Amino acid sequence: MNIFGKKEINQEQKPKKEQDKSNILKPIIIGITALVLIVLIGLLTKNTLLVIIVAIVVQIIFIIYLARILEKEYEIKLRHLKEKEEAEKQAKEMKQKLEKAEAQVKFKPVQSATYIPKITNFEDLKRYIEKTLRLKFKKEEIKSALLSTGWSDEQIEKAFSEIEIAKAGKIV
């Protein structure tokens, strides 16, 4: 499966690598050829100083030429790297958006299904709170469920404090 066209990108990059090698080899071959020609001319002529000066000038020109080519190659590689990073960043963002959309489709808000038995007195309230705390419900969840059934905030807080005091008495 092609994800975001990666297969096509890889196929396009193969010929470029071969072109990069040939672009670097051309100036090297030209430089070596120029050096060989200068050495041959130096062997055939009697003015060695002139040949040495020409050889140095040609090599300096060759080095400058090679440096410019390498600089252009570096810029091209840097540009391709930036394009690749940008494409990967876009692919990652698209993947995250897709995952988020899938998660939203799968997510169905669960209605609070807290079962509250008919609690008629304060002792029943305390027993209910103790049982739900043992079931690992949070204090806020228990409190909101009891408030929704009509218990006052003061009664709920009083029941919680009595349960905490009773627990502290059992521990000591």
CB 45 within 8 A of CB 51: yes
User: Tell me, what amino acid is at 12?
Assistant: E
CB 149 within 8 A of CB 116: yes
What is d(CA 16, CA 159) in angstroms, rounded to the nearest whole number?
77
Our measurement of the distance from residue 61's CA atom to the centroid of its chain's CA atoms, rounded to an integer in Å, reads 45
CB 57 within 8 A of CB 31: no
Residue 121's pLDDT is what? 83
Residue 79's pLDDT is what? 92
DSSP category for residue 3? S
DSSP category for residue 80? H
Our measurement of the distance from residue 25's CA atom to the centroid of its chain's CA atoms, rounded to an integer in Å, reads 37
Low-confidence ranges of the chain (pLDDT < 70): 1-24, 107-118, 171-172
What is d(CA 69, CA 55) in angstroms, rounded to the nearest whole number?
21
Q: Residue 74 is encoded by which pair of tokens?
A: 């570096």
CB 149 within 8 A of CB 118: no
Residue 1's pLDDT is what? 46
Residue/partner pairs of 130-136 with CB below 8 Å, 24 or more apart: 130/163, 133/163
Domain ranges of the chain: 6-106, 122-171
What is d(CA 100, CA 20) in angstroms, rounded to the nearest whole number?
41
Closest among 85, 66, 63 to 25, alpha carbons compared = 66
Residue 102's pLDDT is what? 81
Residue 91's pLDDT is what? 93
Q: Is the pTM of this model over 0.85?
A: no
pLDDT tens per residue, range 81-120? 999 999 999 999 999 988 888 877 776 554 454 556 667 7
End-to-end CA distance of the chain: 65
